[in-house]
Structure 1
Amino acid sequence: MEIPVLPDVTVVFGLAVVVILVCHRMKVPAIVGMLLTGMLCGPHGLGLVRSAHDVEILSEIGVIMLLFTIGLELSLADLSRLKRPVFIGGSAQMALTWAVFFAVPYYLLDFSGGSSVLIGMLAALSSTAIVLKTLQECSQMEAPHGRVSLGILIFQDLLAVPMMLAVPLLAGSTFGFTSSIIYTVGKGALILVLLVFFAKKIMPGLLLSIVRTRSRELFLMTALAICMAVSLLTASIGLSLSLGAFLAGLLLSGSDYRENLHEAVLPFKDVFTSLFFISIGMLLNVGSASAHLGEVILAALLLLVTKAALAGTAARILGYPTRTAVLVGMALCQVGEFSFILAKTGFDKDVISEHFYQKFLAASILTMVLAPFCITLAPRIAALVCRWLRVCDAPDELPAAHYSNHLIILGFGAGGRQLARAAKNAEIPYVILEMNPDTVRNEAKKGEPILFGDASKPGVLSHICVQEAKALAVVISDAAASRRAVEIARQENPALYIVARTRFNTEITALLDLGANDVIAEEFEASLGVFTRVMDKFMIPHDDIERMVADIRREGYKSMLPGSFNELAVHVPDKSLAGLHVAVFTVDTASPLAGRSLMDVHLRREHDLTVAAARRGEEFVPNPDGPFVLSAGDRLYVMGTAEALKKGAGLFRGA
């Protein structure tokens, strides 16, 4: 039996493998590769796909899965942790971008009201997939601009579904659809009430029953059934399938099995979402885009520059310095994947013309291609902007305060807090420099000597007397800012002791070259911790472990590379030690051992067991000697082979 869509799907995935592999080698995001795949195999490209409509139907499942997983990922805890970036930064970015891109078409280009509203929506969204993936690869997620970008993206995801719901209402040039909106919102509220009841009263018991079966297949079917059933329910009353999928995910985000649900649907989401982006690429008329190449490039550049400026303004509204604002703007300057969904819906509903739709697709794809490069180059651009604007974001000085022979702490995350607490207990004078205005405000109220400022700017460190400081601890998550801060501090004070924290080994050499005295790499220290515990588990002598750790620290991170421990084999104990085990037994009142000394019971001679330690109440006795008298209730740590421990277990129970 022939499956009509199978040849097309085979061609699509086969070509996608090649294109995405090439994109990976060029460090271009996979989403861009999918769009290019669609452009190549679609009807406007090489024409390799005979039935683009069938592929498009499969791609709709990808949209459902995408929104379901986004609903699962948007937990209330995430919203609470990033509430200011989400609700203040996100609303500022969305409002500013929408207003600009609504006003220009409506007032200057004579677009209809509905079209202008949609254009504002299209421009307001950024690519969650590209931004988060690139920030993670650059180790910038925990940096201030990474947290702000994440918060704004969460707010965009929250508004994406209502915007999708509003697109069909935009058909026509007037705004006389208030009654339709009220009716639609009313239906959505009714569905939401039913879903909340289902999620609170029925879902926990249902999922518990499914989990108890320990059947992965059944759990997967349940996850898919929930997603599809809620989607069909919303579609049956005239709402979108996508809205139902999002609501299903959002309601299940508070479940104990949230991570399991996410893991179950993730492979399906990835496959079908890939088809969605490929189908978008198929819709692009390459010939038309080529004919208007100048307009497309100009539109893409205007989108990038305008969106970057407006997103940066949102970061400034939050109180972040200019450098952070520029980094946020560069991260969010591209058009998002949800914009394609909105644009396609708007095109299907005749809200926008095919001519505009094709230009928008081409310009948007170009912004997505350029997005990773914008994020990578953002620190350099931020430096140029700050130099051009002649700003340094210097902190306000504490009144009548002068620092001397003090400790400077850059960053007040977990590491900075611990260091500040230790300095306070040791009565070491210290001052903290932090870029999160909320943290500065809250900690200053508690009496912490904390200031707001960007240490990577010349002149900022001089405000906290770096020339007279004794030590500087750099514990911020922004790698580029850390390097710049170390360089400036060393120039200001050649005698200053500088210790810097970094995430990866690859940053160590750069920081040392710039003037850091010591660099603590999280990856390096974590690998040492794992190494020490594994060697200890295999009974490598402690003095040998300490010697090897000392060698590693002396040689630096290069010693962690393969081939650095060829001499380790001479320290491995006899393989017979691998058969030794330690078990804990409690001496029962009926045990023949109770009331007798270790020398009397002959555990080692008769049972091949050795008592390594004993615990009696709060007292711990390591390596008890022969006269030690065993009492009922004693907990004994006994060493022996697995067979000897099994045979001797009855001695302690009295069996």
Structure 2
Amino acid sequence: MPEALWISFAFALGLLVKGAGLPPLVGYLAAGFLLSGLSDVSGLTIEATDALTHIAHLGVLLLLFTVGLKLKLRSIVSREVIGGSLLHFGITCAVFTPGLYLLMDLQWQTAFMLAIALSFSSTVLAAKVLESKRELRAFHGRVAIGILIMQDLIALAVMSLAAGQTPSQWALIVFGLPLLRPLLYRLLDASGHDELLILLGLLVALVLGGYGFESVGLSAELGALVFGAMLSNHPRSQELSKSLWSVKEMFLVGFFLQIGIGGLPDSQALAFALVAALVLPLKGILFFFLLLAFRLRARSSFLSALALTNYSEFGLIVASVALPEWLVPLAISVAISFVISAPLNRFAHVIYERFGSGLSDFETQKHHPDEQPLSLGNTRVLIMGMGRTGTAAYDWVSRQEPELMGLDSDPAKASKHQKEGRNVVFADAEDASFWNGLHMPEVHSVILALGDIEGKLIAARMLRKLGFRGYIVAHTMYDDEAHQIREAGANEAYLTMNETGVALASHIISRASDHSE
């Protein structure tokens, strides 16, 4: 059975590359190529079946639907996102098109479409890298995701034009889709948190969005994105996105397998991928200087640019519509870019700490409003990270100490706390420029309630480097991390679950003593 081979090869090579610290989809592409080579050597007929093609299409639709769920206007309506994405797209196409035309001896139209495909960055890789480091809500993470969403919209427009579909007169119905939003919201509210939520997502993405748009002569991909965007402002949109994550990833395995099974790369494909790999740094450099031009600090520009220094699975999706004969060369280019980008992003903060002083020389005199210096004034207790733990700590301390401030790298979360009456401001504690502009003359205690270990280590080190002699306390899940936090400069690091157990036990003891009295 071909399905047994697909699953076996995809799992084995996906696990292998994951062990090497690379995204599993590199393994899925390799599995497809290996299956294609096995077919040539053994004489067996291993090819993409209708089932695999259908699964691959569903994976693309679900990917676009989940992108739509993140499509909030406030995340893309900013100068650095719109300007940075459009300028990068225009400059890349203007440079790559004549370069590919001359180097690869291609037709102008083919060179232009390839340049478009190479201009996009990977939504999947960047989102996974930023999420693993808990930086999706940090300033540089929001900029990177905003640019990726803009690129996805550009890719969708290119696909629609390249497909050359003529809409029917029924396509005008789509202008009435906003009327469906209240019904979709009610269905989402009523679907609960289990399998009905997943089924609702599949229904909306594949049936209403994909099949619905296709039946009136519009792009199925456009339909999936539009219906995702219609639900993006619902409070449970991110829960829906997370519930569909594994389903989408499973179907996308079929997409990458389909590309590999399509045939082994020839010398031209390998030459193209090599050229694409050699010019990949130029992509990141261009992003870095464009973001600097929009008044971002060097650190934010560097981290955003590094997350975007790769080629995109959306380039493959565009090629599947406009340039199917170039799918294999582009697939190899994407895989190589992931091999380069993944480890660089893992050590992004370390790299910047080493070269940051030189990169900061390129900053403009004026800085973005989200990156201005911060003065804590009369604040005596500072809480870094205003999630559940930080919020609980804030509410407890506020009963004894009025001069209290919370910091969080998510501006929406900071705004929510402000509306609830807490003194919380936006600040990214992992940003070296934040520490350089920080004034905290009255602070005597700091609570590190940041979500990730790296943020706590950086905060503890920087506080001591600034000469802070007060008390620093943190929480963590693991003994080894507690030891690292203390070594970085914290006075104490408590184990979260231990403290929870102690708190529960204290309630029992308190209740027992009350009854005894």
TM-score by length of 1: 0.61
Alignment of 1:113-262 (within 5 A): 114-115=109-110, 117-168=112-163, 190-193=172-175, 195-197=177-179, 220=199, 223-224=202-203, 227-228=206-207, 230-251=209-230
The one-letter amino acid of 1:281's match is: G
The one-letter amino acid of 1:91's match is: I
Gaps of 5+ in 2: none
Offset, 1:341: 0.8
Q: Which residue of 1 aligns with 2:273?
A: 296
Alignment of 1:472-487 (within 5 A): 472-477=446-451, 479-487=453-461
| Cα distance in 2, alignment partners of residues 369 and 199 from structure 1 | 41
Q: Which residue of 2 aligns with 1:525?
A: 496
Offset, 1:102: 0.7
Offset, 1:366: 0.4
Identity %: 20
In the alignment, structure 1 residue 367 sits paired with structure 2 residue 337: yes
Offset, 1:342: 0.7
Which of 8, 18, 24 matches 1:24?
A: 18
- Greater shift, 20-29 or 312-321, is seen at 312-321
| Cα distance in 1, alignment partners of residues 13 and 95 from structure 2 | 37
| Cα distance in 2, alignment partners of residues 20 and 28 from structure 1 | 9
In the alignment, structure 1 residue 9 sits paired with structure 2 residue 3: yes
In the alignment, structure 1 residue 54 sits paired with structure 2 residue 20: no
- Alpha-carbon contact 2:56-2:255 (below 8 Å) kept: yes
The one-letter amino acid of 1:497's match is: Y
| Cα distance in 2, alignment partners of residues 268 and 494 from structure 1 | 48
Offset, 1:119: 3.4
- Inter-CA distance 120–187: structure 2 relative to 1 (3 Å threshold): farther
The one-letter amino acid of 2:256's match is: F
- Alpha-carbon contact 2:13-2:30 (below 8 Å) kept: yes
Which of 306, 316, 328 matches 1:340?
A: 316
- Inter-CA distance 69–433: structure 2 relative to 1 (3 Å threshold): closer
Whose helix fraction is larger, Structure 1's or Structure 2's?
2
Offset, 1:69: 5.7
In the alignment, structure 1 residue 327 sits paired with structure 2 residue 313: no
| Cα distance in 1, alignment partners of residues 61 and 306 from structure 2 | 25
- Inter-CA distance 408–154: structure 2 relative to 1 (3 Å threshold): farther
In the alignment, structure 1 residue 508 sits paired with structure 2 residue 501: no
In the alignment, structure 1 residue 94 sits paired with structure 2 residue 124: no
- Alpha-carbon contact 1:38-1:278 (below 8 Å) kept: yes
Superposed CA deviations along residues 474-515 of structure 1, whole A, max 9, x for unmatched, are: 455564454234224324427333334667665322221121
In the alignment, structure 1 residue 79 sits paired with structure 2 residue 72: yes
Offset, 1:277: 0.9
Offset, 1:276: 0.8
| Cα distance in 2, alignment partners of residues 152 and 270 from structure 1 | 22
- RCO comparison, higher one (Cα < 8 Å, 6+): 2
- Alpha-carbon contact 2:384-2:407 (below 8 Å) kept: yes
Offset, 1:130: 2.3
- Inter-CA distance 478–116: structure 2 relative to 1 (3 Å threshold): farther
- Alpha-carbon contact 1:456-1:481 (below 8 Å) kept: no
| Cα distance in 1, alignment partners of residues 245 and 13 from structure 2 | 22
Superposed CA deviations along residues 358-415 of structure 1, whole A, max 9, x for unmatched, are: 44332221012233212112112222331223559898778xx9979x6474757454
In the alignment, structure 1 residue 464 sits paired with structure 2 residue 459: no
SS state of the match for residue 135, structure 2? coil
Alignment of 1:236-635 (within 5 A): 236-251=215-230, 269-283=248-262, 285-288=264-267, 292=271, 296-303=273-280, 305-313=281-289, 315-316=291-292, 319-348=295-324, 354=325, 358-391=328-361, 407=380, 409=382, 411=384, 413=386, 415=390, 419=394, 426=401, 428=403, 457=432, 460-461=435-436, 464=439, 470-477=444-451, 479-493=453-467, 495-500=469-474, 506-519=480-493, 524-525=495-496, 528-529=499-500, 533=504, 542=509
- Inter-CA distance 486–101: structure 2 relative to 1 (3 Å threshold): same
TM-score by length of 2: 0.75
SS state of the match for residue 42, structure 1? helix
- Alpha-carbon contact 1:312-1:325 (below 8 Å) kept: yes
Count of aligned pairs: 501
Gaps of 5+ in 1: 1-6, 170-179, 349-353, 547-621, 626-655
SS state of the match for residue 499, structure 1? strand
Offset, 1:41: 0.6
| Cα distance in 2, alignment partners of residues 413 and 271 from structure 1 | 34
Q: Which residue of 2 aligns with 1:570?
A: none
